[in-house]
Amino acid sequence: MKAANINTIWANDINELCCQVYQSNFGSSSIVLGDINQINLSEIPEHDILTAGFPCQPFSQAGKKMGIRDKVRGAVFQRIVEIIKAKQPQYFLLENVKRILTMEKGYHFRMILNSLATLDYFIEWRIINTINFGIPQNRDRIFIFGTRMIKSKHKIPDLEKLSIFLTDNDVENLSCHENSDIEKSMESIINGSSKNYNWGISYKNKMYSQSLPLMSDIKPRKKLKDILQDESEVNPQFDFTADTIERIKQSKSVNRYCNGVEILYNQGGGARLGYTIFGINGVTSTLTASTSRHYERYQVGNKFRRLTNI
């Protein structure tokens, strides 16, 4: 956003520690701590773009998989819909785990689309991986982008003008790229029978989805070793060499790559992925905010340590 000269004028998180991290990066007055459901809509300023990552736990493989039925975390998405409806930003960008597309044969994602369909926005989604942007982390996420429709400027079939996720090669791969084909191919969000693929569009109560090749790299790919701090700059609290050497005695050597991630050791040769020692010649696995269930250490030279922020 900053690179595109887009200024953040308001932000919110319910987690105090997350707010502290945000403030350390963007200033003490950059974010409002609190439950978004308890914040009055009048306190949220008018804005051009709304970005939000509604809680992924209801949809994540690691969560309870309650989806939109999660009365606590699921309510955040509905609040986002209320904010969009009240503030009418020109665009919105939502992010979540890719599993949201397929949970219960796509039911949850279609319910999300159906809620967004009450708003006058052209909606497009696509699964994007951070490795395509020069970030050495294997992190697939779905991004849902909405463009407010102004009838004098846009028509629903004008896909190439409205899309932000399609490349020229993608357009050639579309089963429906002619205006008339798009309208004929769209089906009811609720009653449609097709799958939710890695790319799709929606407007009003209709949608179209198609499987597209993985997105081409926007920036050159990097390996983890390309961005690591010099070891002399790493705080000793991140060094777990002695403890890790003991772990290795209980583990089996793996020495293989999985989705670009270099795995050196795993307890029982992979029986428990929670006890994993990685290398730095590939990318990282999906990083999480919590390390309570994971023992992730990286071998950097002769040391074993956790990753640090830069």
Conformational region of residue 62, where left means phi above 0, alpha means psi within -120 to 50, and beta covers everything else: alpha
Cα-Cα-Cα-Cα torsion 12, 13, 16, 22, nearest 10 degrees, comes to -60
Indicate the SS3 state at residue 24. Answer: helix
Task: Report the alpha-carbon distance of residue 181 to residue 188 in Å, rounded.
Answer: 16
Q: What is the DSSP letter of 22?
A: H
Instruction: Answer whether 278's CB lies under 8 Å from 305's CB.
Output: no
Residues 18, 56, 176, 258: which is the catalytic one? Answer: 56
Q: What is the DSSP string of 284-300?
A: B----S--TT-EEEEEE
What is the arrangement of strands in the sheet containing 140-148, beginning at the earlier edge strand? 49-52, 91-97, 140-148, 121-129, 199-203, 206-210, 187-188
Residues 6+ positions from 243 with CB-CB distance below 8 Å? none
CB atoms within 10 A of CB 278: 23
Question: How far, CA to CA in Å, does 16 sit from each of 22, 269, 289?
Answer: 10, 38, 13
Largest CA distance in the chain: 69
**Active site annotation includes 258:** no
Catalytically active residues, by annotation: 56
